[in-house]
């Protein structure tokens, strides 16, 4: 898998063309033996070809709009793209009006020269960490594909579009882990920025309090390049931070609960590698995290806010929902206004106390998920689906509740089940966290990056 920087150099040096990149992506999407039909709910083949030809003509005349001009990327199905109906992985919205304009992040990607190749599949209304979709199919995880493992969600198609090189960058959302879980399950990188650093306007909401927009890609540097564009920052350079002397906290409460043995071994291996590279690792209790289940016992922000978005649809069209999604939304309908106010206060209090515990560290380290990608056959019963979904979201949702930034990088041994190592940085510390993550990636990654 080539990085965005390598693709940009190939385009600049004439070793490749945008049309070639687009055609290669379209060929992989259309391959009947591949996952394209389940990964994309709509493919923008003709507009992508037209954009590619435009950028190739500009380059032929010595004009370059940006270094990224002509590189294909995928867009999660909950973002408005001019002329498309935004279905958010649901059947319920299919008959709605097409978007009159691109949402902010799609407009920024186009302005930077990226070529949207299509809209990626997702969990209906983004409300699950496993990535299943009964309406459009579920794209299969690349690991042990013959056995049928979940891709992770809700940005399921986004992750598979990267692993299968159907695009070279993907834009997803993260409300409780929806970029980082599929990244961890599939062995790629997923970044969740500080909420509201990237605009969510024109994206179908799950929880406005927790929603954030972030990239998935094959490397930290690729995510950093996309993140700079999504956040409308003036530079896309990544300052890699020296690992020696960096101080990392490993919370011993909550985030190390219920680890599968392979995840535990991979995490311990990554910690040893980081220590060997000169990083300082400190185990701390951070027992405040044990309060999260009690704080969120009535459905939390996602439950209350999703119910506010969907309550009228649920009354009129409930049979058209994925029943597992409607079940989760309805579980929060009895949360009162007073409960919600208590939740806001509890969040602010927990953020303050955790910030005090982590202020002396560069980042907190933990397994992205306590489990590897589950087999789809193990998710057939509703009881197991609920249990495993809660496990998938267990660690990643911590970051959203605390309103911090976080990134998942692969840390498993090559050839084994993918496992993610999550770095949780401070609120607003996004670019520095990315720089640290690039140094961590170079030490713990299962395979050398080109």
At 420, list the tokens: 């993610």
Are 125 and 197 in a shared domain? yes
Q: Is the pLDDT of residue 7 over 50?
A: yes
> CA-CA-CA-CA torsion for 254, 259, 263, 265, nearest 10 degrees?
100
Q: Are strands 72-76 and 40-43 parallel, antiparallel or unpaired?
A: unpaired
CA distance 204 to 79: 7
Section 416-424 average pLDDT: 98
Specify whether 449 is catalytic: no
- Report the residue count for the chain: 450
Q: What is the CATH number of the domain that holds 371?
A: 3.90.1300.10
Q: Is 240 contained in some domain?
A: no
Domain boundary pick from 203, 230, 257 = 230
Burial environment of residue 256 by CB neighbours within 10 A (0 to 12, 13 to 18, 19 or more): middle
Which one of 74, 90, 178, 266 is the catalytic residue? 178
What pLDDT, in 10s, does the model give residues 72-98? 999 999 999 999 999 999 999 999 999
Are 171 and 280 in a shared domain? no
pLDDT of residue 383: 97
CA distance 20 to 171: 22
Domain with 413, as residue range(s), is: 247-296+341-443
Which one of 2, 16, 18, 76 is the catalytic residue? 76
In the structure, what pLDDT confidence band is assigned to residue 321 with cuts at 50, 70 and 90?
Answer: very high
What pLDDT, in 10s, does the model give residues 241-298? 999 999 999 999 999 999 999 999 999 999 999 999 999 999 999 999 999 999 999 9
Specify whether 76 is catalytic: yes
Q: Is 237 contained in some domain?
A: no
CB atoms under 10 Å from CB of 316, counted, come to 9
In the structure, what pLDDT confidence band is assigned to residue 235 with cuts at 50, 70 and 90?
Answer: confident
Residue by residue, DSSP assigns 263-293 as: HHHHHHHHHHHHHHTT-EEEEE--GGGGGHH
Which one of 154, 161, 207, 408 is the catalytic residue? 154
How is residue 408 annotated by DSSP? Answer: E
Are 48 and 83 in a shared domain? yes
Q: Residue 424: in which H helix or E strand, if any?
A: strand 420-425
CA atoms within 13 A on the CB side of 272: 7
For the chain, the domain total comes to 2
CB atoms under 10 Å from CB of 99, counted, come to 17
Tell me what the pLDDT averaged over the chain comes to. 97
CA distance 126 to 207: 10
Q: Is the pLDDT of residue 422 over 70?
A: yes
In the structure, what pLDDT confidence band is assigned to residue 449 with cuts at 50, 70 and 90?
Answer: very low
Of 351, 403, 408, nearest to 178 by C-alpha is 408
Are 134 and 272 in a shared domain? no
Give Cα separations from 22 to 18, 44, 386 (angstroms).
Answer: 6, 10, 39
Are 276 and 157 in a shared domain? no
CB atoms under 10 Å from CB of 355, counted, come to 14
pLDDT of residue 237: 80
What pLDDT, in 10s, does the model give residues 168-216? 999 999 999 999 999 999 999 999 999 999 999 999 999 999 999 999 9
pLDDT of residue 447: 66
Q: Is the pLDDT of residue 236 over 80?
A: no
Name the percent of the chain lying above pLDDT 70.
Answer: 99
Q: Is 242 contained in some domain?
A: no
Are 154 and 99 in a shared domain? yes
pLDDT of residue 40: 98
**Looking at the whole model, is its pTM more than 0.95?**
yes
Q: Is 61 contained in some domain?
A: yes
CA distance 340 to 178: 23
Q: Is the pLDDT of residue 450 over 90?
A: no
pLDDT of residue 65: 81
Q: Is 310 contained in some domain?
A: no
- Report whether 306 contacts 334 (CB < 8 A): no
Q: Is 72 contained in some domain?
A: yes
Are 359 and 429 in a shared domain? yes
3-state DSSP percent of the chain in helix, strand and coil, to 5: 45, 15, 45
Section 357-376 average pLDDT: 98
């Amino acid at each position: 898998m080539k990085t965005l920087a390598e693709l940009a150099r190939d385009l600049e040096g004439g070793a490749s063309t945008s049309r070639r990149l687009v055609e290669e992506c379209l060929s992989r999407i259309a391959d009947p033996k591949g996952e394209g039909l389940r990964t994309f709910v709509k493919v923008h083949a003709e507009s992508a070809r037209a954009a590619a030809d435009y950028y190739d003509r500009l380059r032929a005349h010595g004009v370059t709009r940006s270094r990224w001009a002509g590189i294909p990327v995928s867009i999660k199905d909950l973002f408005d793209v001019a002329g498309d109906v935004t279905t958010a992985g649901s059947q319920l919205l299919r008959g709605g009006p097409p978007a009159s304009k691109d949402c902010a992040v799609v407009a920024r990607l186009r302005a930077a020269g990226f070529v949207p190749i299509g809209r990626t599949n997702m969990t209906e209304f983004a409300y699950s960490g496993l990535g299943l979709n009964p309406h459009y199919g579920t794209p299969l995880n690349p690991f042990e594909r013959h056995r049928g493992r979940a891709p992770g969600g809700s940005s399921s198609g986004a992750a598979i579009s990267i692993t299968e090189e159907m695009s070279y960058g993907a834009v997803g959302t993260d409300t409780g882990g929806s970029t980082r879980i599929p990244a961890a399950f599939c062995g790629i990188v997923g970044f969740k920025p500080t909420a509201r650093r990237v605009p969510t306007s024109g994206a179908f909401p799950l929880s406005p309090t927790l929603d954030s927009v972030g990239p998935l890609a094959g490397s930290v540097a690729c995510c950093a390049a996309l993140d700079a564009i999504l956040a409308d920052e003036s530079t896309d350079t990544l300052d890699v931070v020296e690992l020696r002397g960096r101080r990392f906290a490993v919370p011993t409460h909550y985030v190390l609960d219920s680890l599968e043995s392979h995840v535990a071994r991979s995490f311990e291996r990554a910690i040893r590698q980081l220590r060997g590279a000169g990083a300082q690792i400190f185990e701390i209790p951070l027992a405040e995290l044990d309060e999260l289940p009690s704080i969120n016992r009535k459905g939390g922000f996602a439950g209350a806010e999703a119910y506010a978005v969907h309550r009228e649809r649920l009354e009129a069209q409930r049979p058209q929902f994925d029943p597992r999604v409607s079940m989760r939304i309805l579980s929060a309908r009895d949360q009162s206004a007073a409960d919600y106010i208590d939740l806001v206060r509890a969040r602010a209090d927990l953020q303050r106390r955790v910030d005090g515990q982590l202020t002396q560290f560069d980042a907190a380290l933990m397994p992205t998920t306590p489990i590897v990608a589950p087999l789809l056959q193990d998710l057939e019963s509703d009881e197991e689906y609920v249990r495993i979904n809660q496990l998938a979201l267990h660690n990643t949702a911590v970051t959203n509740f605390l309103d911090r930034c976080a990134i998942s990088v692969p840390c498993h041994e090559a050839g084994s089940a993918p496992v993610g190592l999550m770095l949780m940085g401070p609120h607003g510390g996004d670019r520095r966290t990315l720089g640290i993550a690039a140094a961590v990636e170079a030490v713990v990654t299962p395979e050398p990056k080109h």
